[in-house]
Chains A and B, each alone.
Chain A
Amino acid sequence: GAGVSQSPSNKVTEKGKDVELRCDPISGHTALYWYRQSLGQGLEFLIYFQGNSAPDKSGLPSDRFSAERTGGSVSTLTIQRTQQEDSAVYLCASSLRGPSGGEQFFGPGTRLTVL
């Protein structure tokens, strides 16, 4: 009965490098969300997956950001050519009930630092 897990917990990278962040949702949860939280700020929605439907990418800040969800389970958020403003905590959440909303279960986050 594990919760949402994310890896790595911390990532330090140099400007211009690509990074991949991983999220393992709760088993059986069909909806998966990525959010970003900058220092002292609220959460900013990035992308949403629901089952086999096309993802809602409306929150991605630029085309350097992409995400995929393989087999309806694990998701990877990729940031290409990282910039210093990408530094933030990236949080993943999953939910049993996607389209009609409901409680979201959050992972511990990945703290990304771009030097």
Chain B
Amino acid sequence: SQQGEEDPQALSIQEGENATMNCSYKTSINNLQWYRQNSGRGLVHLILIRSNEREKHSGRLRVTLDTSKKSSSLLITASRAADTASYFCATDSIYNQGGKLIFGQGTELSVKP
């Protein structure tokens, strides 16, 4: 069963605007990761945040984690048309051995030039 739920399912914004995507999960985690997918093929790792971290930055990306609410958000600032893709959160649950990831359904982001 899916661990994560993401919202919105789809997001359309103009270039230069910020995009915020949210992820909720059900069980306690070791870490939470965000991935990007273009054209339904391979995923690219964006950022990993551990359960004892609350915020992490990487370039134009900002990820927050609230373990009390079992939720995370991904903020992309100053979006570009090239950011158009699907974004997935994935959790490494403390109940799963081996680091296998449980993915959310994803948010489809469209950035219009």
The interface of chain A, by Cβ under 8 A from chain B, is: 4, 31, 33, 35, 37, 39, 41-45, 48, 50, 56, 59, 89, 91, 93, 95, 97-109
Contact = CB atoms under 8 A, between A and B. Distances in A.
B25 interface: no
B31 interface: yes
Contacts of B30: 100-101
Given A106-B42, A106-B43, A109-B42, A42 B100 contact: no
Given A102-B99, A109-B41, A43 B88 contact: yes
A43 B103 contact: yes
Interface of B: 2, 4, 30-31, 33, 35, 40-45, 48, 88, 90, 92, 97-106
B41 A50 contact: no
A98 B31 CA distance: 13
A95 B40 contact: no
B99 A98 contact: yes
A68 B5 CA distance: 31
Contact of B43 (A31, A91, A98, A102): A91
Contacts of B104: 42
Contacts of B99: 31, 48, 95, 97-102, 104
B98 A98 contact: yes
A48 B100 contact: yes
Nearest to A47: B100
B100 A41 contact: no
B49 to A, nearest CB: 12
